[in-house]
Amino acid sequence: MLKNYQSVVLYYLVWIMSGDMILAQSTFSKTYHLEVGPDNRAHFFFLQDTNFIVATTHDGDMEVLSALSRFNYDGSILQTNSISDFVFGKSRSVVLKDSGFEVAGHRWSRDDNQARGLQLLNFNNELDIIEQKLINYEINRVTNFPGILDLDSQSKMIFGSFINTSSIVDSGAYIGLLDRDSDSIQNEVIYKGPEDYPYINFTLYDLQQTRDSNLLFIAETEQRDESVTGRGAYFEIVKFNREGEILNKIKSKLESDKSALLEGDDGGLYFFNDRTPFLLDTILPFADSFGGLVKLNEELDSTIWSFQIKDADGIDESRGHTILGISQLKDSNFLGCGGVGLKINNLKESIGFLCKFTKDGDILWVREYGIPIPEEYVALETTGVLGTGRIEDCKELEDGRILCMGEHAYAKPETSFYRELWMLMLDENGCLTPDCDPTLVLTNTHSVETFREGNIYPNPVSDILHISEVVFDAYKIYDLMGRLVQEGAYSPTIDLSGLPASGIYVLQLKEEGRLKSVFNLVKS
């Protein structure tokens, strides 16, 4: 049973979900229940001149629909078109055409051979399918995680992982080099293990072109001689040329999701690794966190820097950063996005996070964002008030703002894990409000209590809050979305009557810029 103060948060949600949460036209955080299906699984999105398009797949009652939805840049849905029995890949790119665009995917259902192939779909700008081609098909093989990559004015690549559905162990990746206009196949590359130890799992992510016109991908893999549980035993990073010749390859033990990879304009290779503390001189002690980044040189034979710490004392298993995407910004710095765990009332949750960092491995800022579950489902929810949130991908707009896409999930009567599409439009500093602090103060209970000098009363409070036994010169109040809603200079009493709604807020007390205390307060 949820505690009373958590229920108050969900009263606050009514205001959030009403649309009034947009503090300015330039930024927003919204969730969407798209009408094409009950379970919105975010796959990818891409930008157009006056709008952007999001690809989602919807799963429920053993029926699968995928949808393309067009949004304008204030987050309003302009158009949606669905495709039955089809799954989009989690490709980070599409091939843009004068009259539309091309994406990759596969059928959800299998044919009489228990197979499904890799397909290329050509859409017009009205989101209708103009042409659909089966690029790679083999009996008893199932395609997963398809994608497409625009190489140049003459060529493109379509790719996907496959697994054999017969008794023969067989898994790997198919990569096809195609003529950009005619779709004719110029070359095909199939990555498989040796005959003695074939791959039984091969999941390819983030195929991309390098600055020397070769190709690069990261994959989670497992071979028959590897005894593990889960999706894979190892991750592999492979660099190869258009003829399929492997130029460089590294293989290391898999300890968490390995789905984010990027070659920067300096030739350095950035990817996600596990157990990496964010050591920040900021408002919260992130030294007890794990999940982060490694940078390799262009030849993949030397580590330039990493945040990696293993078997270290003090790592808090209740929080863990998983990076799902990395992109380079116009200022030559980098942005990582993903999810991070936290605790509320000793119940585990997860929220989305962003981290901006430099080529030298210096973290510039970290942001965390989440959305409470709707009030009518509180009694059904066993994991707390925030459900499960993650940010899958972010793209920088021409004006410097950051548009992000992800998922928000919680329990409903008809499904134990209901997903909504989640979109955030942030400013160039990753903020919903200007000049937000280095990171959101919503975190696990232990970290909050680290900054607990003085007392506040009454709590819950209707109008006037009293503060005692602490020296401070400034205060700030945030809502649970990380937005600054009130601030001021020292006063032993603070008038809260102007707060926008009842609910839970976070009060910071600072002295000479240093954080002295953090309190959760309830506005009644």
Q: Where are the beta strands (DSSP E) in 302-378?
A: 303-306, 321-328, 334-344, 347-357, 363-369
Of 111, 74, 166, the residue nearest 401 (C-alpha): 74
- Between 482 and 11, where is the model more confident? 482
Domains and CATH numbers, the chain: 89-254 (no CATH), 455-523 (2.60.40)
Query: Per-residue pLDDT for 451 more than 60?
Result: no
**pLDDT, mean over the chain:** 79
**What was the pLDDT predicted at 319?**
59
Longest pairwise C-alpha distance within the chain: 75
Tell me the pLDDT tens digit for each residue of 40-76.
889 999 999 899 999 998 875 557 789 999 999 999 9
What pLDDT band is residue 316 in, cutting at 50, 70 and 90?
Answer: very low
What pLDDT band is residue 10 in, cutting at 50, 70 and 90?
Answer: very low
Tell me the pLDDT tens digit for each residue of 197-248.
888 889 998 899 999 999 999 998 888 776 555 455 788 899 999 999 999 9
- What's this model's pTM, rounded to 2 decimal places? 0.77
Q: Roughly how many angstroms between the first and final C-alpha of the chain, as a whole number?
A: 21
Query: Per-residue pLDDT for 468 more than 70?
Result: yes
**What was the pLDDT predicted at 253?**
77
Tell me the pLDDT tens digit for each residue of 12-36.
332 333 333 333 458 888 889 887 7
Q: Can you tell me the mean pLDDT for 152-176? A: 90
The total number of residues written for the chain in this structure: 524
**What was the pLDDT predicted at 315?**
32
Element (H, E) at 388: strand 388-396
